[in-house]
Structure formats: C-alpha cells, structure tokens
Amino acid sequence: MDATGALPQTKLSASNHDFSRSFPRARSVVSVARRSSVAFQQPDKLRSRELLVVSSSNSANKGMAASGGSYLSGPVLKRNPVGQAFFAAPVVGVDPYCEGFVDSHLHVTEEKVGVLLLNLGGPETLNDVQPFLYNLFADPDIIRLPRPFQFLQKPLAQLISVLRAPKSKEGYASIGGGSPLRKITDEQADGIKMALESKGLTANIYIGMRYWYPFTEEAILQIKKDKITKLVVLPLYPQFSISTTGSSLRVLQNIFSEDAYLSRLPIAIIQSWYQREGYIKSMADLIGGELQKFAKPEEVMIFFSAHGVPLTYVEDAGDPYKDQMEECIYLIMQELKARGSYNDHTLAYQSRVGPVQWLKPYTDEVLVELGQKGVKSLLAVPVSFVSEHIETLEEIDMEYKELALESGIENWGRVPALGCTSSFITDLADAVIEALPSAKSLSTTRSTSEEADHDFLSYAIKMIFGSVLAFVLLLSPKVITAFRNRLF
Ligand SMILES: C=CC1=C(C)c2cc3[nH]c(cc4nc(cc5[nH]c(cc1n2)c(C)c5CCC(=O)O)C(CCC(=O)O)=C4C)c(C)c3C=C
Ligand SMILES: [Fe+2]
C-alpha cells in the first residue's frame, strides 16, 4: 500500500506453466454449472466473457419457482442481467479418478484445490479507517461516475474519505477500535477447510478482501505460489451486488486476463448462494432461537435489515441485489412457516451514504413507523452479510435499537450473524464441492481476437444478406409500383 493508503496495483507476471490439458473429467459427478455470461465490468457497459459460473442452488429455489410469486405476491425466478445461471443440478458424488492433470511435459501432477473467499475487509485500527475508506470510494463499483468524469475518481475518493473518516472512526471506536471482519473471516476459512476435509476434499483456503488486508491481490499471488490447479471462488455475500461480489470479480477478471498461468487455471465462481437450503435453514434456526427469547414469540415482528445500495444500481445498471434479497427473505419466511412460525415480517435497507436515493424503505424510517403503528416487539435480522461488522454492532445494536425504543417499540432483539454456525459452514463446503467439477479456465473460452473475428464475420454476413434483401425488395413489383406512384 502506498502512503495515501491506496491498495497495491499488483501486476502478476506470466508463468512458465503450460497446463495445456486437464484430465480426466469427473465421471460420477453431475456438472452443476451452466455456461453463462459473467459481467466483470459494470453491467451498463458489459463486455461479458464466456466463463463457467455457478449459482449455487438446490431444492429450495425449485420449490419457490414452482410457487411462482414474489416476496409480496410470490417470487419469480429471473435470469439476471449479470448473466447468472440458476438451478444447478445436485452433485451425486465426487469422482475418485478426478485427481490429476497432465502438464506440458506429460508428468501427472496432483490436483491442488484452492478456495478463494471474497470479502469486503475492514479497518483493523482507527488509523486504518481513512485509507480503508479511500480504497472503498476509489472503487468505480462503489462510486459510479459517468465516463467523462472518471478521472475525478481518486481525488473524490480522497476528499470523501477524509470528510467521512471522523464519523466512521467514532463508529469503529465504539465497537472496540476496529472491524472484526478479518478475524471472523479467518475463522470461517478454517471452518470451511475442516468441513471440506471431513467430506474428503483437501483444499487451501485463501481470503481476498476488497478494501483492506489481506487484499485480493495478495491472495492471488499466494495461489500462484502454491501452484493451485483448480480454484473455486466463493464470495461471502449471500446475494450478488455490483458493489460487492461484482466489484471483487472485476478485480479478479483484470488480474486473471493478464496472466498466463491464471488465465489457464480452471476456476468456478459461485456468484450467489442466498437460495441454498443449508443457508436458509441456518438463518431460520437463528431466527427461531431468538424468537423464543421473547415472552410472546408469535407477536414479534421479524425485521429484516439489509445493507442498501443506491437506487440507480438496481434501476439503471440492473443490479439483481434487490430481487435476490426479496427472494431470500421469502425463502426464509417459507422455512419459518414450515416450522410453525407465522410472524409478520418486513424488509428495509440500512447504511445509506451520500446525497443520492438508495433502495427504500429505509430502516430508520420504517422503525419509527412501526413504533407509531403500535408494534411492541421487534426482532432485527441482518441479512446481507454473514459476519458481525460495524453495521450490526454499531448501527443496528446501538443506533437502531435506540431509535426503535424511542419510537415505542418495547421489546428489542437481534439475530446474530451466521459467523461460524456449523450448519452454515457445512453448507458453504457443500457449495464448493458442487462447484468444483464445473471449473473451467478463461483461456478455453473464445479469445478476444476470435471474438473480434466472429464479430467481423457476422457483420459481413449481415451486410451481404441485407444488401441482397434490399436489392430484391427494390426490384419487387410492389416497390416498383410504389416508386411509380411516388409513395416514397
Ligand atoms: C451486502 C453488503 C454490502 C453492500 C451491498 C454494500 C454497499 C455499499 N457500501 C457502501 C459504503 C460503505 N460501506 C461500509 C462498510 C461496510 N459495507 C459492508 C457491506 C456492504 N456494502 C460491510 C460489511 C461493511 C463493514 C465492514 C466493517 O468494517 O465492519 C463503509 C464504512 C463504514 C462506514 O463508514 O459507514 C462505507 C462508507 C456503499 C457506498 C455501497 C454501495 C454503493
Ligand atoms: Fe457498505
């Protein structure tokens, strides 16, 4: 990192490895991925690449698709604009023969599986707060400037980070002087490693944070050093947003496309996993447990509070975040109903920053309204993130709790973040195992020049076909008559 706190611009050198063939493919495994376009760019200027991506799913979403509604009127499953594939088939077993590859010198080498966990990162000390904020605001997926103004990104990031730092520092000071994110993510990584081992898969787990240590760039350097032969990318965000998973994938895309070894490395990306049965059930377990702490559990309003995004992300750039969030909450509520809990529930968005409109309704406004409407017992459920962090520990536990109590809510509870809940960690390990057979390298997809050739060819075909069609039409009796009658 440089003196201003900017994150390192890591350039990864080309590798000598030529992993020209990979064999044998899984035999008893049903591939879980579909070929689909992944946007690593901002979706409004997509240069999508053919890459194998996995949307981790299972019977839960199939059931929901069948129900065919939306959160209020029942959800509808959509293929989202960032090219996400839904409804993967279940894995039926792990191929005992799928354990090696042949390098260019025809030596059989052992498969080395890596799992890259992507996360946001957080300042570990109060001195880290301003440079962390700089990294966050310098991200074009966080502050999306129109193209002619993009040169202002870094000066603007510097300005906003300096202006916001005192308020953020206060928040971090109130939760012990720094973000707990690194520690929790380390523990989750250990948990996933152990869960994978218990399922017969040895894997190296890497943590790639977007805005603080250990940066994604560092994790990728380590993946290269360790000569990983297959990589599963698992963002620790249940729902996809351009501002979170999308931003991290863009970093990966930039690094991978410039590096010979990485562009040949078979990789599977789990873009979102909010609909996995294991995750939904783990959330329902936690909610059910907290409901029982109230004197009258059936009277408690379940209040889902998700981190917001600016409205333009959803409305203009096609961020699937809101749809996925609503679907996720629908599934959790279905699970609770199946367990006999019929509580009222609502969803609101928290943590807005800056003057623009964010996803509504806003958490603070809804809390006040609910208090005024006479809701007396409320259980807050953080739903967009799986670790405790500043927005659960400070914003929800302190600010929103105080606001709720002032507004007339008498009984307040909060569901803890999933953290290392064992059913949840096991489910993430399953998601990795299911994704593994679909790993595919960037270089096996069409190259840019092939794409350009293809584009030129299709352009030429269209031109020729169009000219012939125009010629035929012009010579057609009707057109000739129309010309004669001066209708054009
Ligand atoms: C799904 C989760 C998140 C989304 C979506 C998201 C979008 C988003 N965030 C900001 C601005 C800030 N986020 C900050 C902290 C922060 N954000 C998330 C998660 C999501 N952000 C987490 C988990 C954290 C906390 C990390 C930690 O240290 O514990 C901050 C810094 C804290 C603060 O000053 O409030 C900012 C700023 C934007 C602008 C945005 C979408 C465009
Ligand atoms: Fe955020």
Question: Which is nearest to 199 in space by CA: 94, 275, 59?
Answer: 94
CA of 404 to the centre of ligand 1 (A): 22
**Closest atom of ligand 1 to CA, residue 389:** 29
Say yes or no to pLDDT of 391 above 90: yes
pLDDT of residue 443: 81
Q: What is the pLDDT of residues 8-34, one digit of tens each?
A: 333 332 222 222 222 222 222 222 222
- pLDDT band for 342, please (50, 70, 90 cuts): very high
**String of b and e for 456-479 (b: at least 16 CB within 10 Å)?**
eeeeeeeeeeeeeeeeeeeeeeee
Specify the higher pLDDT residue, 369 or 54.
369
pTM of model > 0.80: no
**Angle of CA points 52, 55, 60, to nearest 5°:** 150
CA of 408 to the centre of ligand 2 (A): 29
CA of 299 to the centre of ligand 2 (A): 32
- Hey, which of 46-60, 247-261, 465-479 has the most confident mean pLDDT? 247-261
Q: Which ligand neighbours the alpha carbon of 170 most closely?
A: 1
Which residue has its alpha carbon closest to ligand 1 atom 19? 307
Mean of pLDDT values over 424-442: 97
pLDDT of residue 482: 38
Whole-number Å distance between alpha carbons of 303 and 362: 12
pLDDT of residue 232: 98
Q: What is the 3-state secondary structure (H, E, C) of the chain?
A: CCCCCCCCCCCCCCCCCCCCECCCCCCCCCCCCEEEEECCCCHHHCCCEEEEEECCCCHHHHHHHHHCCCCCCCCCCCCCCCCCCCCCCCCCCCCCCCCEEECCCCCEEECCEEEEEEECCCCCCHHHHHHHHHHHHCCCCCCCCCHHHHHHHHHHHHHHHHHHHHHHHHHHHHCCCCCCHHHHHHHHHHHHHHHHHHCCCCEEEEEEECCCCCEHHHHHHHHHHCCCCEEEEEECCCCCCHHHHHHHHHHHHHHHHCCHHHHHCCEEEECCCCCCHHHHHHHHHHHHHHHCCCCCHHHCEEEEEEECCEHHHHHCCCCCHHHHHHHHHHHHHHHHHHCCCCCCEEEEEECCCCCCCECCCEHHHHHHHHHHHCCCEEEEEECCCCCCCHHHHHHHHHHHHHHHHHCCCCEEEECCCCCCCHHHHHHHHHHHHHHHHHCECHHHCCCHHHHHHHHHHHHHHHHHHHHHHHHHHHHCHHHHHHHHCCCC
Q: Which ligand neighbours the alpha carbon of 322 most closely?
A: 1
| Ligand 1 interacting residues, C-beta cut-off 6 A | 120, 122, 133, 136, 142, 164, 168, 179, 181, 237, 241, 243-244, 307, 309-310, 353, 384-385, 389-391
Whole-number Å distance between alpha carbons of 363 and 353: 13
Site to probe by mutation for ligand 1, drawn from 117, 119, 120 as the one with most ligand atoms within 8 Å of Cβ, is: 120
**Closest atom of ligand 1 to CA, residue 132:** 31
Q: What is the pLDDT of residues 91-150, one digit of tens each?
A: 222 332 233 333 444 455 689 999 999 999 999 999 999 999 999 999 999 999 999 999
Mean of pLDDT values over 63-90: 27
Ranges 15-24, 416-425, 440-449: which has the least confidence = 15-24
- Interface predicted TM-score (ipTM) of this complex, two decimals: 0.95
pLDDT of residue 403: 98
Site to probe by mutation for ligand 1, drawn from 136, 210, 325 as the one with most ligand atoms within 8 Å of Cβ, is: 136
Specify the higher pLDDT residue, 310 or 465.
310
Say yes or no to pLDDT of 74 above 60: no
CA of 173 to the centre of ligand 1 (A): 17
Q: What is the pLDDT of residues 56-73, one digit of tens each?
A: 544 333 333 322 222 122
- pLDDT band for 442, please (50, 70, 90 cuts): confident
CA of 411 to the centre of ligand 2 (A): 28
Say yes or no to pLDDT of 46 above 50: no
Question: Which is nearest to 349 in space by CA: 338, 335, 364?
Answer: 364
Question: Which is nearest to 195 in space by CA: 447, 422, 469?
Answer: 422
Ranges 190-204, 269-283, 456-470: which has the least confidence = 456-470
Which residue has its alpha carbon closest to ligand 1 atom 29? 389
pLDDT of residue 108: 57
Mean of pLDDT values over 408-414: 98
Average pLDDT, the chain: 78
Specify the higher pLDDT residue, 82 or 352.
352
Mean of pLDDT values over 304-321: 97
Q: Which ligand neighbours the alpha carbon of 184 most closely?
A: 1
Which residue has its alpha carbon closest to ligand 1 atom 30? 133
CA of 174 to the centre of ligand 1 (A): 17
Say yes or no to pLDDT of 263 above 90: yes
Q: What is the pLDDT of residues 135-186, one digit of tens each?
A: 999 999 999 999 999 999 999 999 999 999 999 999 999 999 999 999 999 9
